[in-house]
Amino acid sequence: MPKIHNFSAGPSILPRQAMEAGSRACLDFNGTGLSLLEMSHRGKEFIGVMDQAISLVKELLGVPSGYSVVFVGGGASLQFAMVPYNLLDEGETAAYLDTGTWANKAIKEANLFGNVKVVASSKDANYNFIPKGYAIPADAKYFHCTSNNTIFGTQMQHFPESPVPVVCDMSSDIFSRPVDVSKFGLIYAGAQKNMGIAGCTMAIIKNDLLGKVKRKIPSMLDYKIHIEGESMYNTPPVFPVYLAMETLKWVKQLGGVNAMQKRNEEKAQRLYTEIDANPLFKGTCAKEDRSRMNVCFVMEKPELEDAFNKAAEAANLSGLKGHRSVGGFRASIYNALELESIDALVAVMRDFARKHG
């Protein structure tokens, strides 16, 4: 079977060894004779999985003391509501940076719980850059940002100094580069980009932020409940947590997040260099804000898009179609994508330019 080069924006490419481990675990988990899918989440076998997954998060990101790591369900979209539910009282204000679709959805949810101050937005430019030079109000309860924008292909290369706790949605670039966790009050990330498969979300929470709102919080939406229950308050998403553990083991084996950063920078540089040099293609966002995870580009001659799509499909390049709000193409180059897939895409782009340029 020919190799398929998977540029899907998510659920996305996974390390081969994580998928193979998951396949084995589905049939016989660690020689128990039982599938991971059918054994008790309260048994020592799965408790060991959860403990190792949390330990790997702490090790790879250097999580300092005073923070807790939890795995929960619901995706990052549930975190849009859980964050203000736990941190923002009625009448209080939270600051948000609007850099794309997911940031906008987070703003919508936060408006249900308190006041939202949008400190800056790139919406008028179809989110093709990351705003800079904005002020974060000192009386805000927290400042929320989205580190990487899968749809528009922008990424925060630096985080602002903030007088209030920083909350960051890192769903699409978590574990792709080093992060100083101590600079954040809360980090959350859906798993289905760099951490595993859809079905679980990881959150890193500074403990002293919790327990300060006056409202009663339903148990399933209360970070303190999940921390106290060690991510086992209810039956956790067993298989997604296991795949997250195996994916994080792979990240560690390859040298951790520093190695991932070097790997991702090389992939991004090769692809952006071709986009900038090729007469048929152009990038869609400000160069200083280009994402190293989601590379968005369009054609100088839009009428050639269908022909390029067919050329890409013929070369076994999958998942390149851009989001409908941007159009064109999007190459998602998450951690597990190999350099050979970048080279395959570049080769098709060059060949297409020779034939149609």
CB 116 within 8 A of CB 94: yes
Instruction: Identify the CA nearest to 70 among candidates 202, 200, 167, 182.
Output: 202
- Residue 221 φ/ψ region, left for φ over 0, alpha for ψ in the -120 to 50 degree band, beta for the rest: alpha
**What b/e sequence results for 257-285 when a residue is b if at least 16 CB atoms lie within 10 Å of its CB, and e otherwise?**
beebbebbeebbeebbebbeebebbebbb
The C-alpha atoms of residue 37 and residue 34 are separated, in whole angstroms, by 8
Instruction: Identify the CA nearest to 18 among candidates 47, 53, 44.
Output: 53
Which tokens hold the place of 352? 């297409």
Instruction: Identify the CA nearest to 53 among candidates 31, 30, 72, 26.
Output: 72
| Catalytic residue set | 102, 169, 193
